[in-house]
Amino acid sequence: MARKFFGTDGIRGTVGEEPLTAEFALRLASAAARVLAPNGGTVAIGKDTRVSGYMFESALEAGFVAAGMDVLLLGPLPTPGIAYLTRSLGADLGVVISASHNAYQDNGIKFFDRQGRKLSDEIEHAIEAKLLEPAITKPSELLGKAHRIDNARVQYQWFALSTVHSELRLDGMKIVIDCSNGAGYKVAPRVLAELGADLVPIGCSPNGKNINADCGSTHPELLQATVKGVKADLGIALDGDGDRLVMVDHNGAIVDGDQLLYVLATERNRQGTLSGPVVGTLMSNLGLEKALGELGIKFLRANVGDRYVLEMLQQYDGILGGETSGHLLCLDKTTTGDGLVSALQVLTVLRESGRSLAELASGMPRYPQTLVNVRVAATPDLEAGPIREAVQAVEAQLGERGRVVLRASGTEPVVRVMVEGENESEVGEVADRIAAAVKTAA
């Protein structure tokens, strides 16, 4: 059964439009409390830097307290930090108020269980079923209480530092850090400074409306220019909620999630600490699969979405996976995608190998890949009619020289057309051909 509100990464939409209203957030909290903690418990709530976060924080707090749960308010903190504190503070569930890489006009709500992992589809179905019922208010003697955790940020900083060797130092390394004016704007610079890096911060001045605005992992152009301009050793970009990582080498070239996954996998393989397969997604570059295969490292593809990467890693006892976009999972270090922790793992490889980021990433060839996002009012049938005919024609043309991935986004009203192959111009031309078929059918 399809979920009505939950997508691949929680509930997301435009603030003020259903379902992203204060009234809905209150009902959602009440529904989640009845499913996950019917006899009371504790919930940790954190957010990114969007101005609407204040509204949703208050609404969720009211819904949980009325349903008999105690609330721990963590304030602005990266999504993985909220997952960590959910575990370390002994909360029954965690809630993140964020729309990740979207503009400030959007927001979202997503949940973690007490282990700091995303909820299963079954639990999300159960919460949606409870949304059909009115929110509850328990008797006064059973109401919850709310507490603000003033040192939440510091606790997460020390956790991030604990994921690397205590001997790791970044003295003499000039790093440009772009926090997308988002949730990591304080913790990421402070952790890197603690390790001795010479920092050039950008995208670290949030005002509630500039999150992800021409900065961060989805807009790395400023980072590229700054790295070259200040002659830095590398650049680090997070997204608005801090769970996504993209890096830039000293030449100003982007090193994406596939390349970073290659760097981490090859080093863990060399050290003998890599267990299970490496897991990517349907969108992962073919070059990653081939490069890992040459090293005898098994590579599997999950559906798009870090929750599906996580599920496959758990199924096959793997520890390393991720997406091209920069959602990387290092399960030997933490339970969820964490941009800062992933960056620290890459920096460790750089320091221990004595090689540059450009050198380490060069071992993975990148096949030309074109991604076209087709905005649609309603998702058409992607397996029938002119769309299917266009895809079959392109697949026949490319043969074993490439592949096609066609999928509806779980977070935006778009259909994503991805074509990958040996010839860049051919890839672009056939991707446009499929995109035209999608537009016609939408």
Q: What is the Cα–Cα distance from 420 to 435, expressed in whole angstroms? A: 14
The active-site residue, picked from 100, 284, 325, 342, is 100
| φ and ψ at residue 186, rounded to 5 degrees | -105, -45
Surface-to-core class of residue 335, CB atoms within 10 Å of its CB (0-12 exposed, 13-18 middle, 19+ buried): buried
H helix and E strand count, the chain: 14, 18
Helix ranges, 67-220 (H): 79-88, 121-130, 152-162, 187-194
| φ and ψ at residue 188, rounded to 5 degrees | -65, -50
52 is catalytic: no
* DSSP percent split of the chain into helix, strand, coil, nearest 5: 40, 20, 40
Paired tokens of 420: 């990958």
Q: CA 21 → CA 25, 42, 208, distances in Å? A: 6, 23, 18
Phi-psi region of 294 (alpha: psi -120 to 50; beta: other; left: phi over 0): alpha
Paired tokens of 28: 């959602």
Contacts of 1 (CB under 8 A, 6+ apart): 125
Q: What is the DSSP string of 302-351?
A: EPSSHHHHHHHHHHTT--EEE-TTS-EEETTT-SS--HHHHHHHHHHHHH
Which three-class secondary structure state does DSSP give residue 124? helix
Q: What is the Cα–Cα distance from 261 to 280, expressed in whole angstroms? A: 9
Would you please indicate which residues are annotated as catalytic (active-site) residues? 100
